[in-house]
Chains A and B, each alone.
Chain A
Amino acid sequence: MKLTRRQALSFSTGAIAFTIAGMRIGPAFANAEDTSAAVQAFSGGAEPQSGMMTLKAPEIAENGNTVPVSVTVESPMTADDYVESVAIYAEGNPNPEVVVFNFTPMSGEASATTRMRLAKTQNVVAVAKTSTGKVYIDKREVKVTIGGCGG
């Protein structure tokens, strides 16, 4: 640890400017209410259950531009009983919608992975809908870091 006190202070000053600028011109972000309204619309109002779906995302993302996210739903994936779709929402983004995965019995498994953008530290929510009318939910908080010098 060889940073001088003066250098440490310089860092702080830069960070303050960044923070204040962020507060002043920050765009309007979605929030938990917007997301829950979107979840309601997607699920048709059915009460979501937890436990059957796993949402995987890093606890800490090194960069919000590319955050890996996976969903897996336990399901027989037969013509009579399969997961129709899984929607992913980000509570702290300008718009909560991220992606909707649509499965068929030919998918074999209700499992998919993609990479998403997260504007800041926030909750990511996944909601699954089955052909039999069941709705599942899972949620993870992802911390989005800001690199050195705010860069």
Chain B
Amino acid sequence: MATAKPRVKVPKSASAGEVITIKTLISHNMESGQRKDKEGNAIPRNIINKFECFFNGTPVFSCDIDPAISANPYFEFTAKVMEAGTFRFVWTDDDGKVYDTEKKIALD
């Protein structure tokens, strides 16, 4: 799905040791594999199957995703910020495509 488009919301800054909330959403149909087309043929599954968040290269949070996650998958989670740096977000599609984006955060 060429149109998958990530959105992420990360505070611009945080104090050292603060736990911040991160929200992410990617536009994707999340075709479950359970549906049939008009001719009665099964529509093949095509979902985002993995989401990962890293901070300065270290894993913070990830999800293993099944077709029961809604279209335009939304994930909200937390991260403990000890230093300034860059969050990296990666979504992996069944079709092998990888979508990613980055957000910087400063220390107060």
For B64, the chain A residues whose CB sits under 8 A away are 99-100, 102
Segment at the interface with B among A2-10, A12-20, A103-111, A132-140: A103-111
- Known A99-B69, A107-B79; judge A114-B74 contact (CB<8 A): yes
Is B61 a contact partner of A115 (Cβ separation < 8 A)? no
The answer on a CB contact under 8 Å between B75 and A113 is: yes
B106 interfacial contact with A, CB 8 Å? no
Answer whether A101 and B63 are a contact pair too, CB < 8 Å, given A108-B78, A114-B74.
yes
Decide: A94 and B34 in contact? CB cutoff 8 A: yes
Given the known inter-chain contacts A106-B55, A106-B80, A109-B78, please indicate yes or no for A65 contacting B61, CB distance below 8 A: no
Cβ contact within 8 Å between B55 and A107: no
Q: Assuming A65-B71, A112-B63, A112-B77, what are 12 further A-B pairs, CB within 8 angstroms?
A: A94-B34, A99-B63, A99-B68, A101-B63, A102-B63, A106-B58, A107-B78, A108-B78, A111-B78, A112-B76, A113-B75, A114-B70
